[in-house]
Structure formats: structure tokens, C-alpha cells
Amino acid sequence: MASTPVESFVTKQLELLELERDAEVEERRSWQENVSLKELQSRGVCLLKLQVSSQRTGLYGRLLITLEPRRCVSAAVLPSNSFTSGDIVGLYDESGQLATGILTRITQKAVTVAFDESHDSQLSLDQEHSYRLLKLANDVTYKRLKKALISLKKHHAGPASSLIEVLFGASDPSPPSEMPPLTFCNPALDASQQEAVLFALSQKELAIIHGPPGTGKTTTVVEIILQAVKRGSKVLCCAPSNVAVDNLVERLAQWKQRILRLGHPARLLDSIQQHSLDAVLARSDSARIVADIRRDIDQAWAKNRKTQDKREKSNFRDEIKLLRKELKDREEAAMLESLAAASVVLATNTDQTGRRQHCTNTVTLSIILPRVVAFTAAFCFFCKFAFLSSILHVTLKDSL
């Protein structure tokens, strides 16, 4: 039986994705085997002679360890490097690799890494010892893209099936809906922008808005979002970069919308921090209780490190396990409440997927993809399959 266009597309994309992943893994392996640690540091992928400055509990009870240059090192700042938030890193001492974590924050003087429960119960770090961090191949995006492509291949029915058929040329777009007269939120829109707004809102599967740079496409999409919210839709807006997403957040904030920006705060502009998920959670009703639970976990860890009695260590770990479960339950409830209260959720393609299980039962979603020309094909479907209940996808692109 001949494969369908969707199956052929997915098979080819998975092959290319695997090739890219293999090349990255091989490059990292070659570095570790053939390049000295000092050379790796000079290339910006390794940080040597670090010491533990603090340990605390983060989101979902993860262990957050902050490292800084050892006091015996003359420079008080980290050397020039290419580390960024979200990188997968390996923590090493003289004996070898201790654990793998995710870098959550880096400044000129310190770096913070989050470790999951599977690692932190085995970590016993001494503040007097020397450690190093090595950037590893990041398989998070790879796994998410692969999962999205496999979902696309399996998705033969459901609300997104008509969109898939249109995208792969199996059927024509549905006739546009009749649009009642609109009262535009932005009175400065010109005739072409107003026409684009009406066109996008009348489509049932897909709308593409394109034009030369500087012609007001972003202004137009802001109006589309505002009109979609007025019609009772929730809107998910994804862009290929944090800067592009933050630009939309700044514009929407001027219209006093209930917006929620997903993504790590370290990657967001200062001007939109108040709209980040972390900031919203910090203002939630459960914030104080969550802070108390985190403090209890930190205290239990401190006692666990001090005692040498095996039974006491076991008791402390059991206590930490229970506290973490309570912490995760409360944080997920607060996150769900925040997502439900937002009219517009904005994120990069990879940021939004981690929250998708909280949004599938909300009202109709419209998905906006600004500057789709900057996406790879897999990244576009990565976004589309986050929310299978959506009915309209709007993309913007510059004319070539």
C-alpha cells in the first residue's frame, strides 16, 4: 500500500531529525575524547574549578545547585562561555560524571543547575570540593519534535484532521464564514490591515497573511488576537524566538489583555517579566504555602546531609518524597488556574508543549504563528499538535 503524503512527510522529517541528532552527539563525543578540559573551556562549552555556593528547592521539588568559581581562583567571574538557560549539562568531579541536569540560570559570577529526583538523592556535594560543568547534547528539543511528528502520523481523526487534509493538499479549505461588521480595537489600521483581519477571522482552518517587511503584519495579528478574544476564543501565539514572543507580549499588554508568557524568566525581557508564568504563580493565592513547603524540603535536605545515621537518612528521604508530592500537586493546581484565567498564552514552540496537558479542556483555541518563514516544517507541526482542539491557525510571513 502506497504511503500517504502525511506518512511520507513524517518519515522524511524523522530521518533528517535523526541525522541532525547523530551529528550533534558525535561532535560532543569527539570533544570529550580528543580535546583537553582547558581547550573545552576556551571554546566556551566547559566551566572548570567550580564550587557549590548554595542548594535549594525549585519548581516541582527539583534540587537547584548554584556553583561559582572557587575562591582560590583569582578571577571572581566565570570565563567567557556559550552556556544558556535550558542547556543540558553534566556535573563532574575528579572521579567522573556525577549527574546530568538542566541549566536554569547563568550570570557573570554563578551558574544554577536543576537536577531531577532520580539524581539528587545520590548527590552529596561538598562545598570545599572542585567541580566542573560540561555542555552535553541537548536531546529535549529532539525528543519533543520526534513526539510531535509521530503524533502527526497517527492523527487520522479529531478536530485537527480537516486542517491536516488542507495542509497536505488532500482537500480544499472550507468556505469562509460570514463575518458580521467589526468594531476594530485599533482605529489606526489601514484598509489592507482591516481586510486581513476580516479574512483571518472568517477562515475555518488556515489563514496566511504576508507582505513586505514594515507593512504592519504584527500590528494586524495583534488585532486578530484581540478580536478572537472578544469572540470568546483562547489564543495560543507561538514564535521561533523569545525576542519575537516578547515583542507580541509588549504590544498586547498595551491593550490590558489577560496574557501569560510561558518560558524561563532568565530568557525574557525585563519589561514583560510581570506576565511570565513564574511571576503569575508568585502572585497566586497558593504562593505562601508553596514557599513554606519548599523551605521544609530544604531543611530536610540540610538535616539529611548532616546525619550519618542510615535510618535517619531514610526517614528524611521519605519526608522529602512526601513533601515533593504535595509541592507538585499545589504547583500544578496553581499553574492550571493561571492558564485557565489567561485569554492569550504566548511562548516559543518548544516552551508551550510542556503545558499542553493543562489546556486541552479549555474553550476554542486559535493558534498564531508569526513569521512562519523562520520555522522548520517540524517546528510548525510541533506547535499545531500541542492543541488538537484548535480550529484556526494564522501564520504570517514576509513576501520574498
Q: In sequence order, what E strands does 339-391 have?
A: 344-348, 365-369
- Residues found in the chain: 400
Q: Are 115 and 204 within one domain? A: no
Assigned domain for 39 exists? yes
Question: Does the CA dihedral 322-324-326-332 come out positive or negative?
Answer: negative
Amino acid, single-letter form, for residue 391: I
Q: Are 123 and 168 within one domain? A: no
Q: Are 117 and 63 within one domain? A: yes
Three-state SS at 124: coil
Burial code (b: 16+ CB inside 10 Å, e: under 16) for 295-310 equals ebbbebbeebeeeeee
pTM value is: 0.73
- Answer for the pair 29, 46: CB distance below 8 angstroms, yes or no: no
β-sheet bridge partners, residue 367: 236, 393
- Answer for the pair 136, 28: CB distance below 8 angstroms, yes or no: yes
pLDDT tens sequence across 96-140: 888 888 888 888 999 999 887 554 555 677 777 899 999 988 777
**Which three cell numbers, joined as nine digits, stand for 10?**
513524517
Q: What span, in angstroms and rounded, lies between the C-alpha atoms of 352 and 277?
A: 11
Q: Are 115 and 77 within one domain? A: yes
Assigned domain for 309 exists? no
Alpha helices in the chain (DSSP H): 5-34, 37-42, 117-120, 140-154, 161-167, 191-202, 217-230, 242-253, 277-282, 287-306, 310-341, 349-352, 377-384
The count of structural domains within the chain is 2
Kindly tell me if the per-residue pLDDT of 389 is higher than 50: no
Q: Are 42 and 130 within one domain? A: yes
Q: ∠ CA 315-321-325 to the nearest 5 degrees?
A: 150
Three-state SS at 333: helix
CA 73 to chain centre: 35
- Find, among 60, 174, 52, the residue nearest to 113 by Cα: 52
Q: Are 253 and 125 within one domain? A: no
Domain final residue pick, 138, 165, 195: 138
- Answer for the pair 133, 90: CB distance below 8 angstroms, yes or no: yes
Assigned domain for 303 exists? no
Q: What span, in angstroms and rounded, lies between the C-alpha atoms of 384 and 393?
A: 8
What is the biggest distance separating any 2 CA atoms in the chain, rounded to whole angstroms? Answer: 76
| More reliable by pLDDT, 373 or 30 | 30
pLDDT tens sequence across 159-192: 677 778 888 888 888 888 888 888 999 999 999 9
Q: Are 117 and 180 within one domain? A: no
**Which three cell numbers, joined as nine digits, stand for 63?**
534540587
Q: Are 251 and 165 within one domain? A: yes
Average pLDDT, the chain: 80
**Domain range spanning residue 105?**
35-138
Domain CATH number, residue 168: 3.40.50.300
Assigned domain for 326 exists? no
**Which three cell numbers, joined as nine digits, stand for 226?**
484581540
- Answer for the pair 252, 344: CB distance below 8 angstroms, yes or no: yes
Amino acid, single-letter form, for residue 317: R
Q: Are 41 and 134 within one domain? A: yes
Assigned domain for 11 exists? no
**What pLDDT is attached to residue 318?**
87
pLDDT tens sequence across 76-97: 789 999 998 878 899 998 888 8
Phi, psi of 111 (to 5 degrees): -135, 135
Domain CATH number, residue 70: 2.40.30.270
